[in-house]
Structure 1
Amino acid sequence: MAEHQLIEDPAARTPPGWGTVAVRIGLIYLAARVVTTAFLLIAAELSGFESRFGPDAGLLDLVLGWDARWYWIVAEVGYPSDLPLTETGAIAENQWAFMPVFAHLAELVALPFGQWAMGALLVSLIAGYGASVVLYYLLRDRIGNTAAMWAVVFFACGPLAALFQVGYAESLGLLWLFLALWCVRRRQYGWLYLLIPLMAFTRPGVLAFALFLGLFGIWRWFTRRREELRPAEVVHIVALGLLAAAAGFAWQLIAGWVTGDNGAYLATELAWRRNWIPGEAQFFPLEGFVSATAFWFGTVWGLPVELGYVLLATSVLAIAAALMFLPQVKRLGVEVRLWSASYLLYLLLVFFPQSSIFRLLVPLSPLWGAFAVPRSTPWRVGVLLACLAGQWWWIYNMYALGNTIWQIP
């Protein structure tokens, strides 16, 4: 069967209307948010003197926790023209690591409430619901109605589902991403000229989308006999790939122009690495994973560093094999598989793996469809329970405790 042909279960032959889907997903999403709210309230109650949030933490304190506070600073005062320095003269953590779209959209939504945290909460909640609906449509034609709805359940209740209720840009970034992937799947490229800049100025990672478009274009060329490749589509894919690449470097150029330091953005990002490895870090592709492997295996765990390198290489090969050969993943379609491969390669090249790795994996959420494909009810319920257990573990560590370097979301 050709890759672009759709694979459906019998239920997909008469798909429900948009209104029915919106209501069903709305009920699922609402139930999931009630559970997450309960987890956050418990975490606030458990927060003590050693926690980042203190013994009197409330829900809005958690909404403003960690990176959310940086987005709030962006909304309040903008970006520094003079980069702050540490006592040793190194560039300190500052707002340039955080893109402006979420911060200012939350500021706009907050106008009736007079409190940025309320705007951030509403943007995250609404964007998370929108992302859930788009995820359903992204997967439905490939795996059918029932499996796509289960994928939404896993997504809404997943280990990182608290991101739908805090002042992080992930919900909004996922909405743009899922819409972009859906447009590519539908071959409706026009909307991407708007979505790609929105992605670029909401969350880092649009360079991975540029790589995805490049790989997708190559795949379309080699499969042009199975699905006609029109000249207009070639033009769109090339132009959008160039736009994504340009947008991926635009923020670095803007930071350099405002501050007068061409390395301002990169130095700002590397400032966070000093929380784990003191001193001035140097960036080059793969350096983050190489350095982190030595740090975690050698310094923290006291294990042979060589073992870490072997496990890293083995993991890369295993993930590549899963994306290429696992039937459950293949059913999701080439767009999801190429995006997942592109994003994982992007992380491998630029990221320093630490406790934020869980949050950085959220853009791989379309892969929840692979967990939803098996039609066994016990399996699906088991995955859901694992999601909820993982969600509580993450909230407890990052919000109830949040007092060590491996408890930073």
Structure 2
Amino acid sequence: MADGALTASPPAGTRPALRIAIVYLAARALTTLFFLLAAEISGPASRFGADATVGSLSMGWDAQWYWLVATGGYPSELPRDESGAVAENAWAFMPVYPALARILGLVTGYPVAAVLISLVAGYLACLALHALLRGRLDSTAALWAVALFASGPLAALFQMGYAESLFLLWLLLALRALQRRRFGWLYLLIPLMGYTRPGVLAFALLLALYGIARWARRRRDALGAREIVHIVALGLLAAAVGFSWQAIAGLVTGEPGAYLETELSWRRSWTGDPDAAFRPFDGFVQASALWFRLWGLPEWWGWIALAACVLAVAAALLFAPQVRVLGTEIRLWSAAYLVYLLAVFFPQSSLFRLLLPLAPLYGALAVPRSWAWRGGMLALGLVGQWWWIYNMLALGNTYYQIP
């Protein structure tokens, strides 16, 4: 076992899959209760109206876009607003999830199929997370990490028509394959990730960092030519898949910048700048100033806060013992994904949802053995989940209440 890993004998009793199923179903029951409360609270001013139901909440917001992709495909001509700028459209949403939901929906109907895929993928993602962490933590800590993940602030997405559950499944399986150095599986998992939702470019960066880390310690951990070929080839594959959707959108619409312009259409609704262009890392710089300005504070406070957050997170990934024990693959993935978000995203209320691929870090929260700590983290996650459901679904009537 790698240095720094916690060790313990597996406990007697039920098999991990059954224990995880019990944890997952209990978490989904609580989420369903939260959905019922949110539907009851939803009023005329809410996006869902006074007659909201659990079903309508589950298929709200981006779930509608995936449904549109499943039934109508992608536009061959980009829609435009009154100023002539590209308007929000289906090219921002990847095809794997709606395609699977459409196939299953032939039997169940699309809404049921979409939620069912999310539910099943969420459970399988819990199994994958447990396997990923079990090599680094004792079985109790790994199970607690799964409980925190299944009950966390964004756990409502396991019961919504979003692609997050399915993407997390592919991601956690990919990290497990990298952890075990089963590189062959990544040739399948990388395209599945890339065409389920954006983020595979972060995996390309992970592979680059992983290759550098393996090379640096090659005298202690042999790095053969075959592994080098796999790491380089998989990194190139991830990069190619990541950029291919832009090429596909450009070919279908006849506009090379179709995908970037589509993504920028959401950013323009925040900045109000019809001529906004994509520049790496500019989104976070702009948004940090925007949010502090909206709060009546000097813009430069926002830049200081951004720099402080970046330094604090970097320090945690580098030095926090609870994070270090999770191993190289999880730490490098977390760093790569955060750099990717900093490079491409404009932070707003959807940022909470976009942090979900950092799920392996729940292992760090589960490391302390105190029942008070673990129970407190579980309770905090459930409070955060209700806060998210209440604001994004029960209310959902202003610019900062978009999931």
Residue correspondence of structure 1 range 55-134 to structure 2 within 5 A: 55-113=50-108, 115-134=109-128
What are the superposed Cα offsets for residues 270-291 of structure 1, whole Å, 9 maximum, x if unpaired? Answer: 1011221112211111110111
Name 2:359's counterpart in structure 1: 365
Partner of 1:36: 31
Correspondence for 1:205 among 181, 199, 208: 199
| 8 Å CA contact retained: 1:132, 1:152 | yes
Cα distance in 2 for partners of 1:16, 1:244 equals 41
Mapped pair 1:156 → 2:150:
yes
Structure 1 contact 176–195 (Cα < 8 Å) conserved: yes
User: How many Å separate the matches in 2 of 1:33 and 1:111?
Assistant: 25
Q: Are 2:24 and 1:26 equivalent residues in the alignment? A: no
In 1, Cα distance between the equivalents of 2:106 and 2:25? 24
Using a 3 Å threshold, how does the CA distance of structure 1 residues 16 and 218 change in structure 2: closer, same or farther? Answer: farther
Correspondence for 2:162 among 162, 168, 185: 168
Shift of 1:179: 0.2
TM-aligned CA deviation for residue 15 of structure 1: 6.3
Q: Distance in 2 between matches of 1:199 and 1:76?
A: 22
Residue 355 of structure 2 aligns to which amino acid in structure 1?
A: L
Alignment of 1:224 onto 2:218:
yes
State TM-score, norm by structure 2: 0.98
Distance of 1:141 and 1:311 partners within structure 2? 36
Q: Which one of 5, 8, 12 corresponds to residue 7 of structure 1?
A: 5
The CA distance in 2 between the partners of 1:126 and 1:250, in whole Å, is 28
Aligned length: 402
Distance of 1:161 and 1:306 partners within structure 2: 34
Query: Which residue does the alignment assign to 1:52?
Result: 47
Q: What is the aligned-residue identity percentage?
A: 62
CA apart distance, 1:63: 1.6
Instruction: Provide structure 1 residue ranges, at least 5 long, that are not aligned to the other structure.
Output: none
Does the 8 A contact of 1:109 with 1:122 survive in 2? no
Mapped to 1, the partners of 2:107 and 2:73 lie a distance apart of 21
The one-letter code sitting in structure 2 at the alignment partner of 1:236 is H
In structure 2, C-alpha distance between the alignment counterparts of 1:144 and 1:278, rounded to whole Å: 50
Partner of 1:326: 320
Aligned to 2:251: 257
Distance 1:173 1:129 in 2: 13
Q: Deviations over 1:248-301 (max 9, x none)?
A: 000000000000000000000010112211122111111101111121112x11
Deviation at 1:59, TM superposition (A): 1.4
Structure 1 residues 298-377: aligned runs within 5 Å: 298=293, 300-377=294-371
Kept in 1: contact 2:267–2:346 (CA 8 A): yes
Structure 2: state its 5+ residue gaps. none
**3-state DSSP of counterpart to 1:190:** helix
Instruction: Answer yes or no: is the 8 Å Cα contact 2:10–2:139 preserved in 1.
Output: no
| One-letter amino acid matched to 1:155 | F
CA distance in 1 between counterparts of 2:105 and 2:252 reads 27
CA RMSD in angstroms comes to: 1.2
Shift of 1:186: 0.1
After superposition, residues 208-287 of structure 1 pair within 5 angstroms as 208-280=202-274, 281-287=276-282
Matched residue SS, 1:111: helix
Check the 8 A contact 1:6/1:141 in 2, yes or no. Answer: no
Q: Distance in 2 between matches of 1:57 and 1:16?
A: 45
How far is the alpha carbon of 1:8 from its aligned partner? 2.6
The one-letter amino acid of 1:203's match is R
CA distance in 2, matches of 1:254, 1:284: 21
Task: Please tell me whether residue 179 in structure 1 is matched to residue 177 in structure 2.
Answer: no
Tell me the distance in 2 between the aligned counterparts of 1:387 and 1:379. 12
Aligned-pair CA distance for 1:152? 0.1
TM-score, length of structure 1 as denominator length: 0.97
1:143 Cα deviation after fit = 1.1
Q: Is the 8 A contact 1:275 1:405 kept in 2?
A: no
Within 2, Cα distance between the matches of 1:140 and 1:69? 37
Q: Could you tell me how far 1:16 is from its partner in structure 2?
A: 6.6
CA distance in 2: counterparts of 1:234 and 1:44, whole angstroms: 53
Give 2:331's aligned amino acid. R
The one-letter amino acid of 2:6's match is E
